Structure formats: structure tokens, C-alpha cells
Chains A and B, each alone.
Chain A
């Protein structure tokens, strides 16, 4: 327990050496690493904060876009309905017109047919009448002399 200079000085010198080494080679790199990491963590936290904010903003924007799209879609649907109704109405009107036209045409044709058939029938009846009269008259007179009378008859039929 005596004080002795050897140990005293030895310990002081050892301490100076260790403190010097610590100051030179241990403390600066460790402190630098710690401070760098502090900045990194702070930056990371700030970035996360910013990310959260932009996410919130994007969500709001997305909601707006979806609403807009919905509104547009319903507008388009309405337009389509209106157009469809229009087309159906147009079609109906066209159909009615076409039917009228075809009906008229058919009627005219039928009338024509009837007239033609009537003419033909008339001719055939007069021929039959002529043939009948001829047969009668061949017994008595020449057909040629009475041809004008027979023609009048046929016209009257």
C-alpha cells in the first residue's frame, strides 16, 4: 500500500497512451458512424412521412378520378338509352311507311291483274259467242257478211 513512483508513473503513462489511442483511432470513427446513422434514420423517417403524405394525396386523387369516371359512365349510359329509344322510334315510323307503300303497290297490281283478266275474259267470251253464232249461222249464212254486227256484239260484252 506504499506509494511508489514506478507504479504511479507507469499508470499515468499507460493512461496517456490509451487515451491518446482512443482519441485518435476509436472515438472519431465510432462517433462518425453514429452520427451518420442518426442522419440516415432521420432522413428515413422524413421520407416515410413524405411517403405517407403522398399516399394520402394519391388516395384522395384516386377517389376523385373514380367519382368522375362514375359520373361519365352514367352520362354515357343515359345517352345510349336515349339513342336506342330514338332508333326504335325511327324504325317504327319507317316500318309503317314501308307497309303503306307496299300495300298501295299491291293494290294497284291487283287492280291491273283484274283488268287484264277481265279483258281476256271479254275476248274469250266474244270468241265463244262468235263460235256459237258461227256454228249456228254456218247452217244459214256466211259469217263474213255479218262480221260487223258480231264485232259490235263482242265490244258490247
Chain B
């Protein structure tokens, strides 16, 4: 469905158009064990095929680009592409060095992967909203959402990996006891002697609730921030596309603004990952 058709469409034209654009291409197992496409609402085991496809495609693109440079890299005068890659690497490296003071072989490559990968996924937002879904429709694919970061599963999948790393680094650097203490002894230190001991379990429970929420809020906010920004941006692109021919200047303006959001959100996701992991490995 093109934008002009959508604008001049039937009673539920715009609603259907928007809904169509926000629908993932899904596959799941049906009741009888057969594979079912696109009737997976509420099925917890479904896979968003389009999100996964573009996410992995862009991840492979990132890996291929950087690997092609890394393979034949040399300390001599770099080529233009090598220089570009090294600028990105150096930027990420200095960001990590500024924030994370421990030693870790993982964090800098993790930050680089997150930054470039999320950036590439966000960048898909700049492809006009109808191009690929229309092409896919012509090829017989009913739904296609091309921006993986507008899928909450994708951003959540990444933030869960970060969350696991946060717990891993906390336990690695402070021990299981340190992890438990961090959850129970802050922010109010429970009394250790006298009558106050009676209140200690209460305080510990209070601390635990507070700290658990703040711990769980980290991955949640990380993923929802990225998802929310990209989803809202995508939605506005779809709304602009509904206007018809008048969309061109609006689309251009929003796209230019979106270049900022695309980069900024990728940077924020990377930076917060570094900050969370450095908090996990340092006493504070």
C-alpha cells in the first residue's frame, strides 16, 4: 500500500496503513506443531523474522567491514577506509578509557560492536518507509519492518546481554557476597547492635526492594530508551508518509533531524553500557 493510496484509502485506510507498517513478519509453531506465519499474536515463542534478518545482516555488515580492515591493517600510512575505521575505533576506545578504569579485554570491543551495530540498525530508519515493504509485498512477503531497533525484542535482547554482564562483572570484582551486600546494605546501612537489630531485617528488605528495582531499571531503561526513540521516529516517518506528495519537505526535515537521533541513540546505548559495567567493577 503506497502512501497516496493510503491517504485516499477507504474508511480505515490510514489506520490500516500504520498498523501494516508496524507489524513484524513473524513465524511461530502452531497448535499442531506446524510453522505458522503472521498469526502469532500472543505466542511467546514467535520469532520476528524481519527484525532478526536485518539485525543479523547489519551485524554481519559491521563485522565484515571492520574485519576487512583489521585483517590487512598495518602501522604504515592508512588508506581512507582504514583511517575511517580507526577513527571510530579510537573514538570508542577513548570513550571507554575515560569511563572504565579497570582492565578488561571485553568492554572496548563490546562498546564498539554496540555502537556500530546499533548505529547501522538505527540508520535503516532513513530508508523511506515504503520502499522495502512494497518490494517485499511484490515478492509475496506480507509484512516487513526494516528497522530492527523499533522492535522492542531486539533492544531488549541486547540490554539483557548487558544486564548479564553487569551481574557477571559485579560478582567477578566484588564476589557473591559483595553482590548481595550491594543489594541489601545500601542505601540505608542496617544497624548492627542494640535495639536497632530488631529493625535490621526490615531495613534490609527495604534496601533489597530499592536496589533490585534500580538494578532491573538499568536494562529496562537501556532498551526502552532506544526502542522508544526509534519507534517514535519511525511512527512519525509513517505519519509523514501518509500526507502524500506534500510529505517531501517534511520527510527531508525529519530525516535530517533523525540523523542526529540515530547517532545519539547509538552513542547513548554504548556509553550507558560502559557506565553500567564500570559501576559494576568499581566500589562506589
Contact = CB atoms under 8 A, between A and B. Distances in A.
Chain A partners chain B: yes
Interface of A: 1-12, 14-19, 21-23, 25-27, 29-34, 36-37, 40
Contacts of A5: 44-45
Kindly name the residue among B42, B157, B160 whose own CB sees the greatest number of chain A CB atoms within 10 A. Answer: B157
Given A4-B43, A11-B156, A18-B113, 20 more contacts: A2-B41, A4-B44, A4-B47, A6-B47, A7-B154, A11-B51, A12-B157, A15-B157, A15-B158, A19-B113, A23-B105, A23-B106, A25-B71, A27-B70, A27-B89, A29-B73, A30-B70, A30-B73, A37-B75, A37-B76
Q: Is the interface of A mostly helix, strand, loop or mixed?
A: helix
15 contacts: A4-B28, A4-B40, A4-B44, A6-B28, A8-B157, A8-B160, A10-B47, A10-B52, A11-B148, A11-B156, A11-B158, A18-B62, A22-B109, A27-B108, A31-B108
Nearest to B27: A6
Interface residues on B, range: 35 or more
B27 to A, nearest CB: 8
A7 B62 contact: no
Nearest to B40: A4
B206 interface: no
A17 B158 CA distance: 12
A25 B67 contact: yes
Given A12-B161, A34-B86, A26 B156 contact: no
A157 to B, nearest CB: 124
B76 to A, nearest CB: 8
Contacts of A21: 63, 67
Q: Classify the secondary structure of B's interface with A.
A: helix
B271 interface: no
Contacts of B169: none
A31 B156 CA distance: 30
Nearest to B50: A7
Interface in B142-162: 148, 151-154, 156-158, 160-161
Interface string B7-46: 0000000000000001000101000000000001111111
Contacts of A40: 75
Contacts of A3: 44, 152-153, 156
A31 B70 CA distance: 9
B157 A26 contact: no
A80 B208 CA distance: 106
A18 B117 contact: yes
Contacts of A7: 46-48, 51-52, 151, 153-154, 157
B110 interface: yes
A5 B62 CA distance: 25
